[in-house]
Chain A
Amino acid sequence: MKLVKTLIIASSLLLSGTALAAEGTLTIVTSYPPDTTNTFKAAFEAKHPNVKVEMLKKKTSAGIKYIKETAENNKSDLFWASAPDAFEVLKGDNLLAKYDVKVSGIPDKVGSFPINDPDGYYKGFAASGYGIMWNTRYLKAKKLPIAREWADLKNPVYFGHVGMSAPSRSGTTHLTVETLIQGLGWEQGWAEWKAIAGNFKTVTARSFGVPDGVNSGQFGLGVVIDFFGLSSKASGFPVEFSYPKVTTLVPANIGLVNNAPNSEAAGEFIEFLLSTEGQELLLNPKIMRLPVNPKTYAKAPAEFPNPFTDKTLGAEVKFDLQLSKNRYNVVNSLFDVMITYRLDELRAATKSIHDAKAALGDKDNAEAIKLIAEAEALVNKMPITAKQAAEEGYNGVFKTKRKKAATKSSGRQAEIEARWDDMVKENYAKATELAQQAKSLL
């Protein structure tokens, strides 16, 4: 044992020599891939030779946990990630510090979304929106048309060819789900999602699972954030990306962590990120994010989307941020219960409805038409109403911290979800049965 101990101490001394925090170390907790982090690290260090940047890579949710758990003895300077709601969580727990940006020329809004946190805790440095990416070889081999709008994905030809990640796993996916629901209304919006999801091959647990699946041809089309599509194409994969009319552009952000050990260098990094030089780095083919400085687009490649001149981009949506915040976790949970975890059942129901409709064609069989309509209604049936979802007494169950102890919430999340699940499972099974019945009549 003694030998082992000596060994540990010896090697620890050896390593700690290099590991000790030097004067100018800047620690950034980030969810970004090496292509992004290495590019910015190299450029920033070239400009500030006395600062050494440490990029600490964590998935967004793990990053939040990390900053929370280490807050009492904080060693991180910046949090750098996409989803605005992640920053909201940190802000809500008083883990971010305010910072005033010196760079000028950045507008207030991109699309209908404010670029910076109105309270000054985090800053947007790039915009991204959701869209559809597809594998050209796959579509050609399977003789499938290109889908450009969300509604196109409902087409029965895409059965088993579409992939998406769960909104509970990715903040930006959540925004897409919410956007469509706000645009079409609660019942109609969810019906649309279920019709699309009926064609899913899979719901991935990681947001990168979707571009990965499309790139390798595991499935043909994917609902992805723009830079995944654009950077995959730039890396040489046979894929294309396009924005549907209904899309929300949201800023990707950076925020100063409370009690940052090196807030001076952290400030410099934020300034650099928003400077002309930093913004241009976003156009690197491996990064491909929409800059927030409109001037940068002059240097962009042809066909690169520009949300500041292309007014159709993200304009169709009037996004109610407060509504979205109120029912955030309820929407995630509903999606998981109705779609992610019951995908097999939903697919079975969708398939039999597709089949029945195909068999029906133009025939005038009242009985069959009625059965199909009933089956569709069963699939679309929602466990709760829009009003319930937005009520504090109801959605309080799904929140991390209730604002006031007096806010009463009845029931527990798991208990409520189990009830939803029983209902959804039964409805999908019944719908499958009815649609099969309809088909047997034809």
Chain B
Amino acid sequence: MVGLFIAAFLALFLLVPVVKVIYVAFIDPATGDFTLLNFKDFFDSSLFRESFYNSFYVSAMSVIVATLIAMPLAYFTTRFNFKGAAIIQTLGIIPLIMPPFVGAVAMKLLFGTNGSINLLLEEYLGINIPFMEGLNGVILVQSIHYFPFILINLSAALINIDSSMEEAAQNLGTRGLRLFRKIVFPLAMPGYIAGAALVFIKVFDDLGTPLLLDVNKMLAPQAYLRISSIGISDPMGYVISVILIAISLFSLWASFQAMKGRDYSSVQKGGGGLSKRDLKTGERIMVYAVIGFILFMVLSPHIGLLLLSFSTIWSFAVLPDGYTFAHYYTAFSSASGYITNTLIYAGLAALFDVVLGVAIAYIVYRTGLIGRKWLDYGASAALAIPGVVLGIGYLRTFHNVEVPIVGEPLASWWVIIVIALTIRRFPYALRACVAAIQQVSVMLEEAAENLGANKRRSVFKIVVPLMSGGIIAGFVTSFATASVELSATIMLVAKESDAPLAYGIYEFLQSASGRGPGAALGILAVIIVGLGTYFSHRIIERGEKKRNAAVAVNEE
């Protein structure tokens, strides 16, 4: 039943609209017949081949750089007793909640050829480092933007590792890096792979960042430029979309293969989590220095944006000419509608995402439903659909569907934005839920059922609570990223009064006098979503403590 419902939902809001758009890829523009010639043209073009290679290179490098950023943060905060772990985890997630196009603007001001850092370097050392030139810039911005995917999933996985495994290894004499490499990291593999696959696919499909950095020799920008140019009907944009989808599906499949045949679940959950230990003073200073540097790097877009939001004029200078509150005044006068809309859209979308995510994860890993893998693949394929394509598909499919009572076409009713966000952010929640369920041993459910619990009871009393870390991680990721999504919503917003924050920011950033207010609105968005994230962390922590306390009591 549930499976059917989800399948129908996906078919209606993902498959049909996308198929409506991508069938163009298989049509001969001259005759209107079915053809595969367009794909031959794709591989015959050296421009497209280079774009393909560049996309691949940038995605792979972004995964590496993102790992370098995320790994220490995740490890230190989960492994050691640490002041401010919650704050670090929250700060580590904040990059996700800034629309990438805003981040790129701020990064250019700081790291561009004539940005603050290079102006300083040039004045004192006479050198200029091309941080933001070409593909470098894309890799830098993308890894800073998307590393939280790895951080969130890896942290969740580390917390869930059974400490007895580690203790056993320690008893056998394993210490330090070897312990991490041989025991801890392999056990956290599902989380890492889930995060890394997300980063890879997201970067592969991302449009806004390369476009803003004027890098167009990559696949997603090529598709976008071709689809959205006036008057050009050639099918290559659609061909590229098909290829993006294929690559994303392949990466997902590969990430599933990587984990196939291994069991990552551990039975004991009560004392879950690595045993935390205290740091020596020397170590503590080291660790704080590393974390401080990483946080400075990943928060630099925000630092840039903050400066921009307070600046009068900032042009070819290390720092702005002067400071003012005026932009916040302008931003506040137009923000309340945007904020309410954003919270409603992103909140609903994230809620649907985790509900569906848990359902699919359960169906895939706990039932024998025919075609269950396809539910997973299908839902994950949403990752690969460029927002623009989804937006156009929705307009095409749902504009003639009148919503009863409301009396508006479905395509211009605000709920369609929620649905688009649900679909677009669904894969995030799904990955998190899948990783979570893989760590829950099926034996626990069987035990509950042996003790007389029915299916429903064992799901709600055993599986879902044990997955809660993953579920909340999924909710937070979906919510945070949905609240800054632009590419699909920009096609679907039918009234200014329905517009979300990212749309408002984008609009401001399109005029010379709007840069300040746009930045101020961006900061506002970061604060709101950041607070949301922080509080959900607090809730998880409290839940965990309670459960641990209960276990302790039971053990006594």
- A residues lining the B interface (CB < 8 Å): 1, 4, 7-8, 11-13, 15-16, 18-20, 27, 33-36, 54-62, 64-66, 69-70, 72-73, 75, 83, 85-86, 89, 135, 137-138, 141, 168-169, 171, 201-206, 208-209, 211-212, 215-219, 228, 231-232, 234-239, 286, 328-329, 332-333, 336-337, 340-341, 344, 397-401, 409, 412-415, 417-418, 421-422, 425
Contact = CB atoms under 8 A, between A and B. Distances in A.
Contacts of A59: 228, 490
B45 A329 contact: no
B510 A208 contact: yes
B232 A418 contact: no
B390 to A, nearest CB: 13
A216 B109 contact: yes
A62 B389 CA distance: 12
B412 A75 contact: yes
A412 B40 CA distance: 11
Contacts of A69: 392, 395-396, 399, 411
B407 A409 contact: no
B351 A4 contact: yes
A18 B406 CA distance: 11
B114 A218 contact: yes
Contacts of B498: 19
A417 B315 contact: no
Contacts of A336: 225
B496 A55 contact: yes
B491 interface: yes
A158 to B, nearest CB: 15
Contacts of B257: none
A425 B230 CA distance: 26
A400 B217 CA distance: 24
B497 A341 contact: no
B47 A216 contact: no
A284 to B, nearest CB: 10
B352 interface: yes
Given A135-B315, A205-B221, A235 B47 contact: no
Interface in B396-449: 396, 399-400, 402, 405-409, 411-412, 414-415
Contact of A400 (B232, B312, B515): B232
B177 interface: no
Contacts of B409: 70, 73, 75
B108 A61 contact: no
B355 interface: yes
A72 B399 contact: yes
15 contacts: A16-B405, A19-B408, A34-B511, A55-B496, A56-B494, A56-B496, A65-B228, A70-B399, A73-B409, A205-B214, A399-B233, A412-B30, A414-B41, A414-B45, A418-B44
A55 B503 CA distance: 13
B231 A89 contact: yes
A418 B46 contact: yes
Contact of B30 (A16, A64, A218, A409): A409
A414 B514 contact: no
Interface string B506-540: 01111111110000000000000000000000000
Interface string B322-340: 0000000000001000000
B29 interface: yes
Contacts of A86: 230
A211 B42 contact: no
B493 interface: yes
B297 to A, nearest CB: 21
B511 A208 contact: yes
Given A141-B316, A205-B212, A400-B232, 4 more contacts: A1-B355, A69-B396, A75-B412, A341-B216
B305 interface: no
Given A168-B232, A215-B315, A414 B225 contact: no
A266 to B, nearest CB: 16
Contact of A217 (B114, B229, B352, B511): B114
Nearest to B498: A19
Contacts of A169: 225, 229
Given A205-B214, A235-B513, A57 B316 contact: no
B348 interface: yes
Nearest to B407: A20
Given A216-B314, A217-B114, A218-B108, A11 B344 contact: yes
